[in-house]
Amino acid sequence: MIQQEIEALIRPSIESMGIEFWGCEYHRQGRHSLLRIYIDTPEGVVVDDCERVSRQVSALLDVHDPIPEQYNLEISSPGEPRPLFYPEQYARYLGEEVQIRLGRPMGDRRNITGTITAVQDDALILQEGDIEHTFPFSNIVKAHLTVERGEA
């Protein structure tokens, strides 16, 4: 998948700059595709961080050319509601509420909101009311913390 190829290409470079690679999204939108890269720092992200990462990533993408069509590059803070991409990110927010979208439905539902109670190697455990659910990360297509959450 193109998104994993892009991540493997740019992540080491971003992290060598002392900036955390939070995740990326690639959306094919006809002639105007979008590559959105999320970055973070302990102090938060400022415009200078986005500009530095944009220059570095643009140079890498120009040389390696992993995206065959034209696209727009966007560098951003994860912001609120904070998207989650990797198991270690879910683990940072144990006890927080998250909304997830599933690739394969659970019963007749694809969208679930619940509290993160545990993270295993390959699965997320959510508490939804009185029900505990286990979702393989491979079935989560999108996730983000709810806006109403407390600070972690």
Range of the structural domain that residue 103 is part of? 87-145
Which sign, positive or negative, has the C-alpha torsion 9, 90, 81, 109? Answer: positive
Tell whether 81 is covered by a domain: no
Beta-carbon contacts of 64 under 8 Å, excluding residues fewer than 6 positions away, are 9
Judge if 71 and 7 occupy the same domain. yes
Percent of the chain residues topping a pLDDT of 70: 96
Instruction: Give the model's confidence band at 152: pLDDT under 50 very low, under 70 low, under 90 confident, else very high.
Output: very low
Domain boundary among 23, 57, 76: 76
> For the chain, how long is the longest CA-to-CA vector?
52
Beta-carbon contacts of 10 under 8 Å, excluding residues fewer than 6 positions away, are 21, 24, 37, 56, 57, 60, 61
pTM score: 0.88
Judge if 22 and 66 occupy the same domain. yes
Judge if 112 and 53 occupy the same domain. no
pLDDT in tens, 78-90: 999 999 999 999 9
Q: How large is the angle between the packed helices 2-16 and 47-64, nearest 10 degrees?
A: 130
